[in-house]
Amino acid sequence: MEKLIDSLMEIGFSKNESKAYLSLLKQSPLTGYEISKQSGVPRSMIYQTINKLVAHGAINEVRSDPITYTPVPPNEFIGRLRQEKEETFDYLQENLKQIQHPPEVHVIRHIQERSTVIERMNDLISKANHEVWLSVWNSEVDDIAPYTKRAIDSNIQLYSLLFNCEPRKHFGRAFYHHPSTADIEEQRMNQRLTIVVSDNKEVLIAGFSRDTVPSALLTEDPMLVLLAKEYIRHDIMMKVMSEHSSEEKMNQIWKEDSDLFYIVTNELLNKKINKGEA
């Protein structure tokens, strides 16, 4: 009996309403007084309880003298409730989704194998409508050159930072890290960090290495897109500034400052000096 009471309460009955309805299922018709006596619902609350059951459509009032009550058969009552609930759920499902603003979830896809990474790089270049930012090494330049040429021919703006290679056509406004600086970059990161940013909307960040399987992440996350583009932008500006200063002056700036030496090379200056002394 307690389980039935609990179940009726789960579909919206109060405890008193559940007890009164179950009493009428056992025996009917009953007067209000008799329902109170058999169900245990206090007499002070029985008619309030009965009125709510009538409103629910769970019991019928019989115009007799005195007035008595009979239960609506469970199949009929529960069936009607089920239909009403389903109609309500259908309405909510249809109308709530119309006002829902879906959260922006930016998936980060992880890619492995050189051929797959190169393919995704070319996809990003091909889908650009306005501009592409590149940071690419000599060993990967030939793999993407046909796609950068096609982008240039389609009036897509390219900004390219190319490592360890001679000047190349079809890479837009290109800047070059020559072997001396490219070697420092590759040694510091222990890989050839490669970036493709398409239309400020999507970015691929890849790592090519002699010792490990190439891997990359691909995402439309706006913060990662911004971060990657700013990395290329700042690297280009540092390259331009270094070309307007003598190599001796540039070396003096960072090779004699232990913190800057570590920032640039990822090595400790004292360790470098000790190795030289040894």
pLDDT digit string (tens) for 181-194? 788 788 878 889 99
Domain of residue 42: give its range: 2-72
Distance CA 137, CA 158 (A): 16
Q: Look at residue 276 and tell me if it is in a domain.
A: no
Q: Residue 272 pLDDT > 70, yes or no?
A: no
Rounded distance, CA 229 to CA 231, Å? 5
Mean pLDDT over 26-33 rounds to: 93
- Going by C-beta distance under 8 Å and a sequence separation of 6 or more, which residues neighbour residue 27? 38
pLDDT score of 278: 44
Split at pLDDT 50, 70, 90, the class of 105 is: confident
Report the alpha-carbon distance of residue 154 to residue 162 in Å, rounded. 21
Select from 49, 72, 95 the last residue of a domain. Answer: 72
Q: What is the spatial distance between Cα 238 and Cα 245, in angstroms, rounded to a whole number? A: 11
Confidence at 161, pLDDT banded by 50, 70, 90:
very high
| Same structural domain, 112 and 218 | yes
pLDDT at 277: 46
Which pLDDT score is estimated for 246? 65
CA–CA separation, 245 and 152 (whole Å) = 31
| 204 membership: H or E segment, kind and range | strand 202-208
For tokens 């309460």, the residue is 9
CATH number at residue 65: 1.10.10.10
Check whether residue 67 and residue 112 sit in a common domain.
no
Fill in the DSSP letter of residue 211.
Answer: S
Same domain, 58 and 167: no
Query: Do residues 46 and 151 share a domain?
Result: no
Boundary (domain end) residue, out of 45, 72, 99? 72
14 lies in a domain? yes
Domain membership flag for residue 94: no
Within-domain flag for 133: yes
Model confidence pLDDT, tens digit, residues 114-138? 999 999 999 999 999 999 999 999 9
Q: Which residue is it, tokens 């070059």?
A: 176
In a domain, 233, yes or no: yes
Please tell me the pTM assigned to this model.
0.58
> pLDDT > 70: what percent of the chain?
92
Tens digit of each residue's pLDDT (9 = 90 or more) over 74-92: 999 889 888 988 999 999 8
pLDDT at 101 over 80: no
CB burial of residue 26 (10 Å; 0-12, 13-18, 19+):
exposed
> Do 133 and 235 have their domain in common?
yes
Distance of CA 264 to the CA centre of its chain: 34
Same domain, 112 and 62: no
- Quote the crossing angle between the two packed helices 258-265 and 269-277, to the nearest 10°: 90
How confident is the model at residue 121, as a pLDDT?
A: 97
- Provide the pLDDT for residue 273: 46
Are 121 and 233 within one domain? Answer: yes
Is residue 46 domain-resident? yes
Beta bridge pairs of residue 157: 131
Q: What pLDDT shows up at residue 264?
A: 67
Rounded mean pLDDT of the chain? 88
- For position 45, what pLDDT does the model report? 94
The number of domains in the chain is 2
Q: Are residues 61 and 120 in the same domain?
A: no
Instruction: Check whether 146 has a pLDDT greater than 80.
Output: yes
pLDDT at site 77: 87
Average pLDDT over residues 57-78: 91
Question: Can you give the CATH number for the domain in which 174 is found?
Answer: 3.30.870.10
Residue 263 has pLDDT above 60, yes or no: yes
Claim to verify: residue 127 and residue 234 sit in the same structural domain: yes
Give the model confidence (pLDDT) of 246-258 as tens digits: 667 766 766 777 7
Is 161 within the bounds of a domain?
A: yes
Residues 62 and 117 in one domain: no
Q: Are residues 219 and 160 in the same domain?
A: yes
Asked if 122 and 224 sit in the same domain, the reply is yes
For residue 115, the model assigns a pLDDT of: 95
Using a 10 angstrom Cβ sphere, with 0-12 exposed, 13-18 middle and 19 or more buried, the burial of residue 139 is middle
